Amino acid sequence: MGYLESARNLTGSAAALGGLALTFAGFAGAYWPVVVGGLYGAGALLAPPRRPPAPAFEEPSSRLDEVRADLVTLRAYLDRVDLPPGATERLAALTGLLEGLLAPGWVSEALADDPEGVHVVARAVRRDVPESVDTYLRTRWWTRLAPGGRAPEEELERQVVLLHGETQQLVDALREAEELRQRSHTKYLEDRGGSPWAEKERPPEP
């Protein structure tokens, strides 16, 4: 049944019908079966081969849906833990930056086209921030039993500053890519039709 509906059979059948038309017109003579069969075979061979459908993968931006959900979970976790004010403010700035990158729309679409950027964001949400906070909470408990050494609050704030700087670098890179795209389009328009701005800026001839 699959072959009957295939392009090869349909093309061959159309060619065979053309052979029958030639037979009825008197061109094939006694060899009409050979002509019809030959035209069918030629049509079947010339027909495009059957190809399997290409796999339909998800859109790149849809890969960020799970990271968005994980960010919501992370923010709920941060709201429950007891953190120093300085670290709380820095974490709020960091999570706000991550939320802006992951917000549905053209920003997250630009992020989705950058696999390394997606990795940076997912790593910050799923591993770096939770590990920094959890390590701080455990270290603070030990520090209460045995005071001394570097304050865990300072270590936590330093980690969050580093993570914020890494995320800010990603934001800057995405912005620079958009600026480059804009300048490239300007250059394309100038090359295509000249630059009216250059004409306006040209000093008048004496």
Do 187 and 147 lie in a common domain? Answer: yes
| Model confidence band, residue 109 (pLDDT cutoffs 50, 70, 90) | confident
Position 140 scores a pLDDT of 86
pTM over 0.85: no
pLDDT tens string 38-93: 666 665 555 566 666 766 655 556 678 899 999 999 999 999 999 999 999 999 99
21: pLDDT strictly greater than 60: yes
For the CA atoms of 35, 37, 43, 48, what is the dihedral angle to 10 degrees?
-160
- Select the highest-mean-pLDDT range: 15-24, 69-78, 150-159, 179-188: 69-78
Do 160 and 95 lie in a common domain? Answer: yes
* Greater pLDDT, 4 or 52: 52
Q: 1 lies in a domain?
A: no
Q: Give mean pLDDT, residues 163-185.
A: 93
Q: 33 lies in a domain?
A: yes
Do 64 and 40 lie in a common domain? Answer: no
**The two structure tokens encoding residue 91:** 């974490």
Position 12 scores a pLDDT of 59
Position 150 scores a pLDDT of 74
Do 96 and 26 lie in a common domain? Answer: no
Place of tokens 């030959």: 38
**The two structure tokens encoding residue 44:** 């079947």
Exposure of 126 in the CB half-sphere (CA atoms within 13 A): 12
| Model confidence band, residue 121 (pLDDT cutoffs 50, 70, 90) | very high
Do 89 and 30 lie in a common domain? Answer: no
Number of domains in the chain: 2
Express as a percent the part of the chain with pLDDT over 90: 43
* Greater pLDDT, 148 or 76: 76
Q: 204 lies in a domain?
A: no
Position 43 scores a pLDDT of 59
**Do 39 and 16 contact (CB within 8 A), yes or no?**
yes
Position 40 scores a pLDDT of 67
Q: 199 lies in a domain?
A: no
Packing angle, helices 7-24 and 32-46, rounded to 10: 150
Domain that holds residue 38: 7-46
Q: 51 lies in a domain?
A: no
- Select the highest-mean-pLDDT range: 46-55, 110-119, 135-144: 110-119
Count CB atoms within 10 A of the CB of residue 116.
Answer: 9
**Do 84 and 139 contact (CB within 8 A), yes or no?**
no
